[in-house]
Amino acid sequence: MTAQPFSRVFDFSRTDQAMRLEGFSGTESKGRWSDGSTARVVLLNESDWPQVLAIEIEASPFVPTDAGTQSVAINVNGAKLADFAFERHLEQVRLDIPLSLDRTSAKRPLEIRFEIDNPARPVNHGMGEDRRDLGLFVFSIKVNASEATDMQSVSNPYKGLPGHQFWRRSISAVESFRVDPVTNPRFRISQNARVGTAGSCFAQHISRRISAAGFNYFVTEKGEMLSERERAHNNYGTFSARYGNVYTTVQLLQLFDEAFGTRTPAETAWVRPDGRFVDPYRQQVQPNGFDSEEAVRADRRNHLNAVRRLFEDTDIFVFTLGLTEAWRSKADGSVFSAAPGVVGGGWDTDKYEFINLDLEQTYGALEEFLGKFHAINPNAKVLLTVSPVPLIATYEPRSVLVSTVYSKSVLRVAAEKALKRFDWVDYFPSFEIITGSSSGGLYYEADYREVNMRGVSHVMRCFMKHYIEGVDSEPADLPREMITNSSMSNIICDEEILDRIRN
């Protein structure tokens, strides 16, 4: 006799089913409503499940008349496998979810978890007197052995892998604003942990969100003697210390070495065209400039003391890698925040040179910095990110687009090498969230360069969910964030000076 294919239906209108429910209300004539933001079903089977399954969920969404949509994420055995969005109230739908189980999971009950984005009470929307928080009405769940080829019975290394390792399950099947590429973060940030930041323009979003959430954004150079307006004007609090943008890993390493007295740069002050002076290594941090060379040096001494305190006392250090192109002194190898002659100083081919760091140079400086940092602060953690903001200009004789791809590729690989080298270093994929094809380019402004607030919201939602202690999940983008094309207001970006002086 031919064995019957496996198929089992769990009817939610009956109470004698081999299943356990949480977050559902009582049985109705055709099924049950979820009641709240989460609902859980545990399906039992007297024998092993087939290892290749197709789950079919017959359901209808509750869509408030004044809300527009209802979104439901479905997790099976702890892995998010699908997201669905509904616009029609009580539309009967079938939610199809493919599933592969390893041999151990096939022996266990199936756990299906529904995460309801917008549960609502009908009474609050003029849709009756019901006061339950309704999301999804489930008629039944059908579990079938998937139509299999002979190859499906053969073991292979991809069988049983979680959904986030497959494109169709974690990207194609998910609404773009729900794509979440963060998996297995190595640490969480507690409310009292001191979080320091440095890097490119994009790094400022993390510090702002940490501060807004009431966590401890660690600032060692505060400008207490100045008014709030003066502090903002002179870039106090933009980063943890007043170093401006630290775009390259070489800049980061030389800053650390100078702060701890193992490096003394040959040049300490440059004069601007208006006669004011600037610090060559943070040329735009004091917009009005300094009165004299000595004023520059005095301010830098205070700055380096603040940098040293930051590295010694921070619990979490977040560094956003931004560029590989830089300008360097031929005399001592110092890398400047902008090319000589752009803000201050003067261009001299005998004294200065353009460099475009390769992977070996970029990672070499990063690895050396991380080793030195860990030696003086062994309990600290480091979180690396790569800025998704393209280069505003390139000095290479080629398209700025080609230079952008080169630069970001080098930075991303350098971060990956650090992740594999140090177990106290983690990588947060802000770059992937913004630039991934799933975003459809919607996270950039009309110039295709600046990241808009929809993109920032997506990045920070993932960051808060996975790295901030006590935050289990973040809501989907607020409607105003999904329709407002606001730019990154008040973000300090030293690189912008290149666009203003290109002519």
Task: Give, as one character, the DSSP assignment of residue 490.
Answer: T
The position carrying tokens 């030195």 is: 372
* Average pLDDT rounded to a whole number, residues 376-397: 96
**3-state SS, residue 389:** coil
In 3D space, the residue among 87, 208, 94 whose CA is nearest the CA of residue 142 turns out to be 94
Q: What is the pLDDT of residue 494?
A: 55
Distances (CA, A) of 477 to 6, 162, 468, 491: 40, 25, 18, 21
Q: Does pLDDT of 1 surpass 50? A: no
Distances (CA, A) of 162 to 35, 40, 101, 114, 330: 28, 19, 9, 17, 51
Give this prediction's pTM.
0.70
- Determine which helix (DSSP H) or strand (DSSP E) holds 408, and give its type and residue range: helix 400-421
| Least confident stretch, 81-95, 381-395, 399-413 | 81-95
The position carrying tokens 């690895």 is: 367
211-220 own/partner pairs: CB under 8 Å, 24+ apart: 213/464, 213/468, 213/471, 215/189, 215/191, 215/468, 216/191, 216/192, 218/194, 218/310, 218/313, 218/314, 218/315, 220/196, 220/306, 220/307, 220/309, 220/310, 220/313
Cα-Cα-Cα-Cα dihedral sign, residues 299, 369, 244, 343:
positive
pLDDT tier, 155 (very low <50, low <70, confident <90, very high otherwise)? low
* Tens digits of residue pLDDT in 24-51: 999 999 999 999 999 999 999 989 999 8
* Token reading at 311: 């590295």
**Domains of the chain, earliest start first:** 7-174 (2.60.120.260), 195-500 (no CATH)
* Tens digits of residue pLDDT in 162-215: 778 888 878 887 788 889 999 989 999 998 999 999 998 777 777 787 788 788
Within 10 angstroms of residue 21's Cβ, the number of other Cβ atoms is 17
